[in-house]
Amino acid sequence: MTEQNELQTQESQKILDLLFSYMPKIAAERKMDNLLVLMADLGRSIVSADRCSLWLVDEDSNELWTKVAHGVKELRIPADAGFAGYSAQTGESLLIADAYQDNRFDRRSDEKTHYRTASVMTVPLMNSQGKVMGVFQAINKVGETKVFSREDLERLGLTAVYSAKTVESAMLTSELEATQREIIHILGEASESRSQETGGHIQRVAGISAKLAVAMGLPAEEVDKIRLATPMHDLGKIGIPDSVLNKPGKLTDEEYAIMKTHSELGYTMLASSKRKLLRYAANVARSHHERWDGRGYPLGLKGNEIPLAGRICAVADVLDALSSPRCYKAPWPEERVKEEFLKMSGSQFQPEVVDALMANWDEIFACYRNAPHDGDDSTGESRR
């Protein structure tokens, strides 16, 4: 092997090592900000640049933006500014030995940062439709030569192909998540709009459930799932006839039996979904009227047989039912609601959830103080 070949082999090995050390971190990262920083670090190591940044096109504002380090505010420049802007507009790569000899250079960035740019490389990132979605920019080659080589440009180009795919799939993921959140919200609202109750039940039950979950020390990921899934707990009410759902006053046994099918109905609507979160929500819908002592419905599950999110949603749901006006009852006074939970702890509700409620009572109950109580025609009597 010639000396030249050997050097090239060593160089390739170094690049492979870098890729393998960065890939798991990049694959595990879901936040776009952090991805940009990670991939810029990767690019900088691969081409031995002093600085490297990954700019993304923001079509709404016609700018390029980037994050250069964790915790630092994002940087923004006009979409056609400097070398990065040139690559973004034309889709061409640039290999520049001395920035100050090139009229595409935007000196303002050096003036602002008191940095001296000399050699520069830029490579556009193309999305799967062949459109420029961003630009990789490396500044100031480190080492003897001080200028980037054609090999460096090729390496940055390969890194850009890999980065483009990563950025595109991260964008798609966050788009999907936003869509999913929106659908969940719409579904929740749909079940609420059918019944003539004061608005906000869905959102209050979700908010209270999340607060209870936090107070019980659940991991952030579980709290998130609970916050997103509980708005659908009454989705099955969509299938309950209006005469039952909005009947003023007490339900007959027969009507109550119809009403009680809403939890299984909600489960059926959601359970066949391909989305994990919707299947999680299906279990909340089915279990939110189970009781800790096993006397609830539809399955009569007992204690820890009831999914945790269902046990939490049960407390939030009943808190809201008692504290708000319903078509069949007036809101109860605060002290009576509190006493009811203490009385039902260990029978209707898991004691730990009631403990979490009591420990945060003032904060959680705050949304019912000064709530309007007009427009209800009920006696305030309870069925039980």
Q: Just list the catalytic residues.
A: 237
In the complex, what is the shortest distance from the CB of residue 173 to ligand SIN, in angstroms, rounded to a whole number?
A: 32
Nearer to ligand C2E, 83 or 328 (CB): 328
* Cβ atoms 46, 15 nearer than 8 A: yes
Quick one: what does residue 340 bind among Fe ion, ligand C2E, ligand SIN, none, with the CB cut-off 5 to 8 Å set by partner type?
A: ligand C2E
**289 binds ligand C2E per the rule CB under 6 A:** yes
With a CB cutoff of 8 Å and minimum separation 6, the contacts of 136 are 40, 43, 52, 53, 54, 55, 121, 122, 123, 124, 125, 156, 159, 160, 163
Q: Round to the nearest angstrom and report the end-to-end CA distance of the chain.
A: 90
**94 binds ligand SIN per the rule CB under 6 A:** no
Instruction: Report the residue from 211, 291, 311, 326 that binds ligand SIN according to the rule CB under 6 A.
Output: 326
**192 binds ligand SIN per the rule CB under 6 A:** yes
CA-based nearest residue to 191, from 229, 239, 230: 239
With a CB cutoff of 8 Å and minimum separation 6, the contacts of 227 are 206, 207, 209, 210, 213
Instruction: Name the residue whose CB lies closest to ligand C2E.
Output: 328
**376 binds Fe ion per the rule CB under 5 A:** no
Compose the 341-370 pattern: x for residues touching ligand C2E by CB under 6 A, - for all others. ---x---x----------------------
**197 binds Fe ion per the rule CB under 5 A:** no
**332 binds ligand SIN per the rule CB under 6 A:** no
**317 binds Fe ion per the rule CB under 5 A:** yes
Residue 156 and residue 163: Cα distance in Å, rounded? 10
Residue 266 and residue 271: Cα distance in Å, rounded? 8
Nearer to ligand SIN, 167 or 205 (CB): 205
Token pair recorded at residue 284 = 């909340």
Q: Which H or E run includes 138?
A: strand 132-141
Q: Is 319 exposed, middle or buried (0-12, 13-18, 19+ CB in 10 A)?
A: buried
Distances (CA, A) of 146 to 6, 42, 120, 197, 271: 22, 19, 10, 72, 61
**234 binds Fe ion per the rule CB under 5 A:** yes
Quick one: what does residue 290 bind among ligand SIN, ligand C2E, Fe ion, none, with the CB cut-off 5 to 8 Å set by partner type?
A: none
Nearer to ligand SIN, 106 or 192 (CB): 192
From 250-258, 266-274, 309-317, 328-336, give the range in contact with Fe ion by CB under 5 A. Answer: 309-317
From 38-46, 160-168, 222-230, 318-326, give the range in contact with ligand C2E by CB under 6 A. Answer: 318-326
Nearer to ligand SIN, 63 or 234 (CB): 234
In the complex, what is the shortest distance from the CB of residue 34 to ligand SIN, in angstroms, rounded to a whole number?
A: 39
Nearer to ligand SIN, 122 or 191 (CB): 191
The gap from C-alpha 365 to its chain's centroid, in whole angstroms, comes to: 27
Token pair recorded at residue 61 = 């504002």
CA-based nearest residue to 341, from 315, 373, 320: 315
From 125-133, 148-156, 313-321, 342-350, give the range in contact with Fe ion by CB under 5 A. Answer: 313-321
Q: Which residue has the tokens 């009229």?
A: 103
**290 binds Fe ion per the rule CB under 5 A:** no
Q: What is the DSSP letter of 250?
A: P
Interface residues with ligand C2E (CB under 6 A) are 247, 250-251, 259-260, 289, 317-318, 321-322, 326-328, 340, 344, 348, 382-384
Interface residues with Fe ion (CB under 5 A) are 234, 317
Interface residues with ligand SIN (CB under 6 A) are 192, 195, 197, 201, 234, 237, 245, 326, 328-329, 382-384
